[in-house]
Structure 1
Amino acid sequence: MASSEGQHESDDGMDAFMDKFKTQQYENAFSEDNWEEEFDRVPMFMKKAPEEIDPQKYPELACLQAIIHDEDRPPEEQAKSLKDEGNAFFKEKNYKKAILSYTAGLQKKCGDQDLDTLLLTNRAAANFHLGNMRSALNDAVAAKKIKPDHLKALIRGAQSCIALRNFAEAVQWCDEGLKVHPTDKKLQELRAAADKHKRITERDARKSKIKEKKLLAEKEALLAAIKDRGIKLLQPVKPRQSGSDSQDEDEDEGSTAEIAQLNLDGLGSQEATGAQVFLDEQRTLHWPVLFLYPEHQQTDFISAFSENNCFIDHLAVMFGEELPPWDADRKYHPNNLQLYFEDEEKDTFYQINPETSLLKVLQHKRFFVKSGTPSIIVLVRSSSFWKQFLTGKKIRGL
């Protein structure tokens, strides 16, 4: 009977406690309005670590960090805690903070080779994801020095070499790894990829070398053809020294104009088309030629003027049945035109017979090809502009 009464008293006490629990609010409970935000401040339930840890706002997390970085603990414990911290940042894809944690762990110099190797390979992975391929490779090399057969170090090294397009080196990393891990699928896949890229790169290099050799032979043949014809390529003119007297053309054909050595520097056309002189299968030179019409400030550009063609051949096409729209007076007929080239150094104009071939003009002792493009001035004979333009100029025939 006493036992029954005791049980009854106990039940009454529990009822009283539960009644009080229902009416009295817990002082440290989450608020109904912000419970999700407060819940996320608990380290165990955080979805993502905050960028800056405020001890007032995140007291529990600040406490955990203090434990991780407690300098009184053995270096091995500190390094392991920093590795775990780095791994947490890595999972959140916060690779920069992961690198900082792994680096701090390595700086502890704990002497644990396994732990140091993990810190290095993990930092290599973080660097790899950030695109720091050279740093990733350096970490893999450092890890392999500690443990030459470490699988992750070998994989990270191969991955970094492939990203750096060092395919031959990547194959070496894979071969070293497969000696101790012959069945590892990741290493096998990396080796296959590296070997494929290596063979493609070597093939492209061979093709490029053959192409370069062919282009070089073509250039040498082109320059030899120009040299054999006695055509002069003009390089930039050196400033004339003060007090020097100009010489007559018969005294010094080269004068201060510096003739280009036979190289491609003097063959680059300045025209937007990028046309250049070329040698065809019949060993005939074809030049880009610029026609200048100073009266109207207009130009014509012929991208491939055969050296054997005469100027009249092109004039007949350019000024045939249809005259250019800028010729309002309709006076640019082939029979009305006079052609000249200018010797700027001698301040002299040489008149060209339209029946003359391009080669004959290019071989003239005072004709210098500038920027790979011969220039010809076109004027209308006996026009007012023609008289004004040539006034005071020295005129010579070919």
Structure 2
Amino acid sequence: MALLMEKGAEPQTERELADLDAISALKESAAIELKEEGNKYVKMGKKHYQQAINCYTRAINQKALTDTETSILHSNRAHVNLLLGNYGRALSDSEEAIKLSPTNIKAYYRAAKASLSVNKLVEAKAFSEKGLDQDPDNEELKKLKKQIDSQISELQQREAQVSKALKTAKDIMSAIEDRGIKIGKATFQELTGLKKPILDNDHMLHWPVLLLYAEVMSSDFIEDFCETDIAEPLPWDKENAYTRDAIELYYEAGSGVCLSKKEILSNLLQGTAASHIESFGDEDTDAAKSSPKEISSVGNNRSKWVKVNERKTLHAVLKEPNFIIPGIPVFFVVSKKSSFYKDFKSGNWSLPS
């Protein structure tokens, strides 16, 4: 009998040939039955999807159907896996269905949908286009391709925004390095938000500048202070203690740590389309050159208030060797007419913690 034949042996008698034909017919019948049973389970709803998958799998394992019919089984199993969110399995089945029958339109649709679901947009577009090559009037495929094209367009726009933000940050970083400016951790973001310097077309840095009135801890904010400008703070108080001729500007020098190049780039990218980027390419390789450096405190372990020479440009002030910019330039405004002036100058005042 054919069932007792050794593996790989050829049938020798008519009886053995008849037995093999009978076995093939039984397997084919079983596969068709399992396929129909699987289809019924799909119609019965989500609770029965796994049973449908089992039926399709058993039908495939019969290896008794034509390539076209087996392609339909893989495509059907892909459909159920899509419904269950098993996108990887759905994609594998769809691809197998296409190999078995390159005209299986549903397989192309399901391959495109599965690819889209796992963000393989290039593959999704290719499957949808190949499907439409087979059936140019297929409305489902045309609708899906439109959705894929839309997502590809959005992705390209996001990538362009990320690229632009990264280039802008690197250009600013390069300008900061060229000027020998030191940047430290931002300390007044509750007042300034995520304001950052910008670089104009003439390669000039424009800084947002925070003016703090130390006596009353009030503030003014200059959004655009070009590095070539000279400080011209405006009067502020109602009692006219802070008239232009009465005020002096100071910056805080003392203990501080310069941020690394990578940290500065991360800060420059905050709030941009590239804020999620953690690696900047070549910048990550020069850690030793851009590692944080500490500037020692000056005098009795206290912060030192350094008077700003208002005849200097902002650029010249920011280059001072003991000035670590706390994110953006911060200057303290003090009135010579105020009784607070003596306390400030003597070093008896410090920033509230």
Report the TM-score, using the length of structure 2 for normalisation. 0.61
Q: Which residue of 1 aligns with 2:52?
A: 101
1:87 and 2:87 aligned: no
SS at match of 2:106: helix
Q: Which residue of 2 aligns with 1:158?
A: 112
1:299 and 2:253 aligned: no
Return the alpha-carbon distance in structure 2 between the equivalents of residues 81 and 330 of structure 1: 96
SS at match of 2:245: helix
The alpha-carbon deviation at position 344 of structure 1 amounts to: 2.0
Counterpart residue type for residue 281 of structure 1: N
Counterpart residue type for residue 64 of structure 2: D
Which of 116, 120, 136 does residue 90 from structure 2 map onto? 136
Return the alpha-carbon distance in structure 2 between the equivalents of residues 224 and 158 of structure 1: 44
Q: Which residue of 2 aligns with 1:112?
A: 64
The alpha-carbon deviation at position 331 of structure 1 amounts to: 3.1
Q: Which residue of 2 aligns with 1:278?
A: 198
Q: Greater Rg, structure 1 or structure 2?
A: 1
Q: Deviations over 1:210-253 (max 9, x none)?
A: 6666656555554444344332333x6xxxxxxxxxxxxxxxxx
Query: Is contact 1:339-1:376 (8 Å) kept?
Result: yes
Query: Is contact 1:170-1:191 (8 Å) kept?
Result: no
The alpha-carbon deviation at position 315 of structure 1 amounts to: 2.5
Query: Residues 228 and 380 of structure 1: is their aligned pair in 2 closer, same or farther, counting only changes over 3 Å?
Result: same
Return the alpha-carbon distance in structure 1 between the equivalents of residues 147 and 55 of structure 2: 39
Q: Which residue of 2 aligns with 1:388?
A: 343
Query: Residues 331 and 225 of structure 1: is their aligned pair in 2 closer, same or farther, counting only changes over 3 Å?
Result: same
Query: Is contact 1:128-1:160 (8 Å) kept?
Result: yes
Query: Is contact 1:167-1:195 (8 Å) kept?
Result: no
Q: Deviations over 1:283-333 (max 9, x none)?
A: 43211112223332333222211223332x2334xx2xxx3xxx7x66333
Query: Residues 193 and 233 of structure 1: is their aligned pair in 2 closer, same or farther, counting only changes over 3 Å?
Result: same
Return the alpha-carbon distance in structure 2 between the equivalents of residues 339 and 270 of structure 1: 22
Query: Is contact 1:340-1:377 (8 Å) kept?
Result: yes
1:194 and 2:150 aligned: no
Q: Deviations over 1:159-217 (max 9, x none)?
A: 433455545434543565567xx45632x862685388449836963x66666666565
Q: Which residue of 1 aligns with 2:330?
A: 375
Q: Which residue of 1 aligns with 2:183?
A: 233
SS at match of 2:234: helix
Query: Residues 275 and 174 of structure 1: is their aligned pair in 2 closer, same or farther, counting only changes over 3 Å?
Result: closer
Return the alpha-carbon distance in structure 2 between the equivalents of residues 178 and 337 of structure 1: 75
Which of 306, 313, 330 does residue 350 from structure 1 map onto? 306
Query: Residues 86 and 297 of structure 1: is their aligned pair in 2 closer, same or farther, counting only changes over 3 Å?
Result: farther
Query: Is contact 2:38-2:55 (8 Å) kept?
Result: no
1:333 and 2:252 aligned: no
Q: Which residue of 2 aligns with 1:314?
A: 233
Return the alpha-carbon distance in structure 2 between the equivalents of residues 126 and 384 of structure 1: 80
Query: Residues 280 and 155 of structure 1: is their aligned pair in 2 closer, same or farther, counting only changes over 3 Å?
Result: closer
Listed as ranges, the matches of 1:162-181 within 5 Å are: 162-164=116-118, 166-173=120-127
The sequence identity of aligned pairs, in percent, is 28
Q: How many residues align?
A: 274
Counterpart residue type for residue 334 of structure 2: L
SS at match of 1:364: coil
The alpha-carbon deviation at position 354 of structure 1 amounts to: 4.2
Consecutive unaligned residues in structure 1, runs of 5 or more: 1-73, 237-265
Report the TM-score, using the length of structure 1 for normalisation. 0.55
Listed as ranges, the matches of 1:36-47 within 5 Å are: none
Return the alpha-carbon distance in structure 2 between the equivalents of residues 378 and 209 of structure 1: 43
Query: Residues 270 and 104 of structure 1: is their aligned pair in 2 closer, same or farther, counting only changes over 3 Å?
Result: farther
Return the alpha-carbon distance in structure 2 between the equivalents of residues 315 and 101 of structure 1: 77
Consecutive unaligned residues in structure 2, runs of 5 or more: 1-25, 256-296, 298-302
Query: Is contact 2:196-2:208 (8 Å) kept?
Result: yes
